[in-house]
């Protein structure tokens, strides 16, 4: 508040606004009082302006230049009211600031105090363009003060050469040198800066790294987790009480819109972390759907511990959010199927193309590990387990050891499952694609249906016979080729190779004999179990039903002729023939 008497004359000569106010107030002879509440920067800035009008030296810097420029424009202190008036001098100093990284950043931060006036004078856009241009350029080519470079030089110290002190060689600055500096900006200005950086040609990887750094600093709920494995992603010193849940929700949704859409640019670990936080703070469905689609597009890059998203709310039953992972997997399979549809390949070529199957195989291994991790949950329903496992195509699993392990864990944790449900789950795996260890384990697994055990034994015996036959075929060919050759010199030259092959054959034969003995023991134990079932009343009928045979009930007129003892012996002998030779393959195939 100022009066007409107290107002100094030099102040009126520099400002058109003040001159007009005094001229209007001087018409009234009474005491004049007027107020300047809307001046940008408030009383502190007006004091600097008053000193400038009285030719008192003031210091212009990056912290006060924006408010002074806006206040000068508000008071209309142009050159018509004095040579090199405040508008001209502040504008000149602003242009000098735009050539410096740290000063431009400080000026941009102070724009938030007078954002409306700074937008009208295009100070915000000029600061952002200046910062974006410098962030996209090579900092080693210019003399911009970069924090990482300054620290490296200060720690390295001077270098002496021939007694002459020279400055230390600048430490190479990485592409992420600007991430920490801009992370102090508020979200509206930061969002505009990121968009400007992208328009200036910044790589998506650089933008993603800046967004991750910004999220770790401001999205404090990103560090809230039941697991301790995400400790590296929690910002040091961040507190949950810094912002409320609504602000966190708005911040997360804005960050998700800024994340580059290119596949593989943003780490899946960070995307899954955002999804977990979005579920925790109940973000919008569109935000969660966007995250699920982006994670699904690069699911092959995810890790198991990141997929273990805890269920939230009181209505859920399972420990982990199975439905969320199911949607992510469906997105991946949709993208994968579109890829193969646009690049059609024959089935034989598809099976041989290991490069194109690599992402699908990685996802199959990941899902098998995930199923094994969630299988002990007693509330996990068989339909959920089966739906998640069946989403993976058969060609994506070269070996079915992983899905077998998950099914075995699930059967162990759910002993109350019916026989039909067990067989339904076992149809998810193929006994033909078991390794030797998995086949040995499955043949002795009491939790598996008897039909599956018979299939494992049959295919293992078939595999053994095939390998033995191929070995003897190769051995006969080698002997025939050696007998047909009458060249003594060639025979002498081949002696070391023959000795090596002979040793290899001895080792292979020993291994095959050992495996044959193991199979004979397994078959013997199965036969003993069959004999026990035959002696038990009704046991044989149950076993036949498990194998898929339907035993027809004899007619009344033929019941007197049948010999019960002979009938049991013939049934046992047919079962033994099935185990030994595997001739009846219809009884071994799945329903």
For 184-209, the pLDDT digits (tens) are 999 999 999 999 999 999 999 999 99
How many CB atoms neighbour CB 157 within 10 A? 8
Does position 572 have pLDDT exceeding 90, yes or no?
A: no
List Cα–Cα distances, 526 to 337, 517, 529, 578, 586, in angstroms.
43, 14, 5, 12, 19
Q: Give the CA count within 13 Å in the CB-facing half-sphere of 436.
A: 9
Q: What is the pLDDT of residue 176?
A: 86
Over the stretch 529-555, which tens digit does the pLDDT of each residue have?
Answer: 666 655 654 554 554 454 444 444 434
High-pLDDT (> 90) share of the chain, %: 44
Q: What is the pLDDT of residue 344?
A: 42
Over the stretch 61-77, which tens digit does the pLDDT of each residue have?
Answer: 999 999 999 999 999 99
Closest to 360 in 3D by CA, of 329, 314, 386: 329
What distance in Å separates the CA atoms of residue 100 and residue 299, rounded to the nearest whole number? Answer: 42
What global pTM score does this model have? Answer: 0.71
What distance in Å separates the CA atoms of residue 266 and residue 293, rounded to the nearest whole number? Answer: 13
Q: What is the pLDDT of residue 435?
A: 87
Q: What is the pLDDT of residue 333?
A: 93
Read off the pLDDT band of 357 (50, 70, 90).
Answer: low
Q: What is the pLDDT of residue 268?
A: 95
Q: Return the SS3 of 352.
A: helix
Does position 28 have pLDDT exceeding 80, yes or no?
A: no
Q: Residue 230 is encoded by which pair of tokens?
A: 């995400």
b/e burial code for range 456-473 (CB count within 10 A of at least 16 → b)? bbbbbbeeeeeeeeeeee
Q: What is the pLDDT of residue 244?
A: 82
520-535 mean pLDDT? 66
Kindly state the helix (H) or strand (E) to which residue 202 belongs, with its residue range.
none
Residue listed under structure tokens 């989403």: 391
Which of 37-51, 231-245, 459-473, 492-506 shows the lowest per-residue confidence on average (mean pLDDT)?
A: 231-245
Q: How do 2-3 and 33-34 pair as beta strands?
A: antiparallel
Does position 497 have pLDDT exceeding 60, yes or no?
A: no
Q: What is the pLDDT of residue 501?
A: 56
Closest to 572 in 3D by CA, of 520, 535, 521: 535
Report DSSP letters for 78-135, one per residue.
-GGGSTT-HHHHHHHHHHHHTT-HHHHHHHHHHTTTTHHHHHHTTHHHHHHHHHHHHH
Instruction: Supply φ then ψ for residue 589, to 5 degrees.
Output: -80, 155
Does position 461 have pLDDT exceeding 60, yes or no?
A: yes
Average pLDDT, rounded, for the chain? 76
319-334 mean pLDDT? 94
Report DSSP letters for 511-523, one per residue.
HHHHHHHHHHHHH
481-485 mean pLDDT? 50
Q: What are the contacts of 89-93 at 24+ separation with CB within 8 A?
A: 89/60, 90/60, 90/65, 93/60, 93/65
Q: What is the pLDDT of residue 142?
A: 55
Q: What is the pLDDT of residue 84?
A: 85
Q: What is the pLDDT of residue 445?
A: 87
What distance in Å separates the CA atoms of residue 306 and residue 137, rounded to the nearest whole number? Answer: 35
Q: What is the pLDDT of residue 222?
A: 81
Higher pLDDT, 346 or 134: 134
Cβ-based burial of 88 (10 A; exposed 0-12, middle 13-18, buried ≥19): middle
Q: Is 232:252 a contact under the CB 8 Å cutoff?
A: no
Over the stretch 221-252, which tens digit does the pLDDT of each residue have?
Answer: 786 554 433 334 444 444 444 348 889 999 99
Which of 40-54, 324-338, 357-371, 551-565 shows the lowest per-residue confidence on average (mean pLDDT)?
A: 551-565
Q: What is the pLDDT of residue 578?
A: 39
What distance in Å separates the CA atoms of residue 179 and residue 467, rounded to the nearest whole number? Answer: 60
What distance in Å separates the CA atoms of residue 128 and residue 190, rounded to the nearest whole number? Answer: 9
Which of 26-30, 140-144, 384-388, 437-441 shows the lowest per-residue confidence on average (mean pLDDT)?
A: 140-144
Q: What is the pLDDT of residue 243?
A: 47
Kindly state the helix (H) or strand (E) to which residue 326 belongs, with its residue range.
helix 322-342
User: What sections of 381-449 are H helices per DSSP?
Assistant: 382-390, 401-413, 419-426, 436-443
Higher pLDDT, 285 or 431: 285
Task: Specify whether the backbone of 309 is left (phi greater than 0), alpha (psi in -120 to 50) or beta.
Answer: beta
Q: What is the pLDDT of residue 506?
A: 65
Q: Is 64:45 a contact under the CB 8 Å cutoff?
A: yes
Q: What is the pLDDT of residue 576?
A: 40
């Amino acid at each position: 508040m100022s009066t007409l008497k107290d107002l100094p004359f030099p102040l009126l000569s520099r400002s058109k606004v003040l001159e007009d106010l005094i001229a209007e107030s001087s018409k009234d002879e009474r005491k004049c009082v007027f107020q300047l509440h809307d001046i940008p920067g408030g009383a502190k800035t007006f004091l600097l302006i008053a000193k400038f009008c009285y030719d008192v030296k003031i210091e212009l810097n990056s912290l006060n230049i924006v408010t002074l420029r806006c206040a000068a424009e508000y008071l209309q202190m142009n050159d018509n009211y004095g040579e090199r008036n405040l508008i001209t001098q502040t504008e000149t100093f602003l242009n000098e600031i735009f050539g410096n990284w740290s000063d431009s950043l400080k000026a941009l931060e102070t724009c938030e105090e007078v954002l409306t006036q700074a937008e009208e004078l295009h100070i915000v856009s000029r600061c952002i363009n200046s910062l974006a241009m410098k962030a996209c350029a090579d900092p080693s080519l210019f003399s911009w003060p970069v924090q990482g470079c300054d620290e490296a030089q200060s720690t390295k110290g001077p270098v002496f050469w021939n007694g002459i002190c020279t400055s230390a060689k600048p430490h190479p600055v990485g592409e992420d040198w600007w991430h920490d500096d801009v992370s102090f900006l508020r979200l509206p200005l930061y969002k505009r800066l990121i968009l400007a950086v992208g328009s200036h040609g910044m790589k998506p990887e650089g933008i993603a790294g800046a967004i991750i750094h910004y999220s770790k600093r401001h999205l404090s709920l990103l560090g809230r987790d039941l697991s301790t494995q995400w400790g590296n992603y929690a910002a040091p010193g961040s507190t949950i009480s810094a912002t409320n849940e609504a602000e966190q929700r708005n911040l997360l949704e804005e960050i998700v819109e800024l994340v580059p859409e290119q596949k593989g640019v943003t780490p899946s670990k960070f995307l899954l972390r955002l999804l977990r936080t979005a579920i925790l703070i109940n973000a919008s469905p569109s935000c969660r759907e966007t995250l699920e689609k982006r994670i699904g597009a690069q699911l092959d890059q995810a890790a198991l511990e990141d997929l273990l998203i805890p269920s939230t709310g009181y209505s859920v039953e399972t420990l982990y959010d199975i439905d969320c992972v199911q949607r992510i997997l469906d997105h991946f399979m949709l993208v994968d199927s579109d890829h193969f549809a646009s690049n059609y390949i024959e089935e034989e070529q598809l099976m041989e193309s290991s490069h194109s199957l690599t992402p699908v195989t990685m996802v199959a291994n990941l899902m098998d590990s995930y199923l094994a991790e969630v299988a002990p949950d007693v509330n996990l329903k068989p339909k959920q387990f089966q739906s998640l496992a069946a989403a993976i195509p058969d060609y994506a699993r070269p070996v079915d050891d992983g899905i077998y392990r998950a099914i075995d864990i699930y059967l162990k944790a759910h002993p109350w499952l019916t026989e039909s449900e067990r067989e339904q789950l076992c149809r998810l795996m193929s006994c033909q694609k078991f390794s030797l260890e998995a086949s040995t384990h499955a043949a002795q697994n009491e939790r598996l249906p008897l039909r599956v055990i018979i299939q494992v034994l049959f295919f293992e015996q078939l595999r053994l016979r095939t390998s033995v036959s191929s070995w003897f075929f190769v051995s006969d060919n080698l002997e025939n080729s050696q007998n047909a050759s009458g060249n003594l010199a060639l025979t002498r030259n081949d002696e070391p190779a023959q000795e090596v092959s002979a040793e290899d054959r001895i080792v292979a034969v020993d291994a095959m004999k050992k495996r044959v003995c193991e199979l004979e023991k397994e078959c013997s134990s199965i036969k003993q179990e069959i004999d026990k079932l035959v002696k038990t009343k009704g046991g044989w009928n149950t076993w036949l039903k498990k194998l898929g045979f339907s035993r027809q009930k004899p007619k009344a007129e033929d019941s007197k002729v049948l010999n019960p003892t002979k009938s049991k012996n013939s049934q046992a002998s047919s079962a033994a023939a099935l185990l030994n030779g595997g001739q009846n393959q219809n009884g071994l195939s799945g329903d």
